[in-house]
Chain A
Amino acid sequence: ELKVEQNPLFLSMQEGKNYTIYCNYSTTSDRLYWYRQDPGKSLESLFVLLSNGAVKQEGRLMASLDTKARLSTLHITAAVHDLSATYFCAVDIASGTYKYIFGTGTRLKVLA
Chain B
Amino acid sequence: DAGVTQSPTHLIKTRGQHVTLRCSPISGHKSVSWYQQVLGQGPQFIFQYYEKEERGRGNFPDRFSARQFPNYSSELNVNALLLGDSALYLCASSFTAMNTEAFFGQGTRLTVV
Q: Do A and B bind each other?
A: yes
Residues of A within 8 A of B (CB): 4, 31, 33, 35, 40-43, 45, 48, 88, 90, 92, 94, 96-105
Q: CB-CB < 8 A to B107: which residues of A?
A: 41-42
Could you list some 7 contacts between A and B, CB below 8 A?
Answer: A35-B104, A42-B90, A43-B104, A94-B99, A97-B56, A100-B35, A100-B45
Q: CB-CB < 8 A to A35: which residues of B?
A: 104
Smallest CB gap from A94: residue in B: B98
Q: CB-CB < 8 A to A43: which residues of B?
A: 43, 90, 104
Question: Once the chains bind, are A99 and B45 in contact (CB under 8 Å)?
Answer: yes
**Which applies to chain A's interface (DSSP): helix, strand, loop or mixed?**
strand
Nearest-Cβ distance from residue A5 to partner chain B, whole angstroms: 10
Given A42-B105, A42-B107, A97-B48, 6 extra CB contacts under 8 A: A31-B99, A33-B101, A41-B107, A45-B101, A90-B43, A105-B42
Smallest CB gap from B43: residue in A: A102
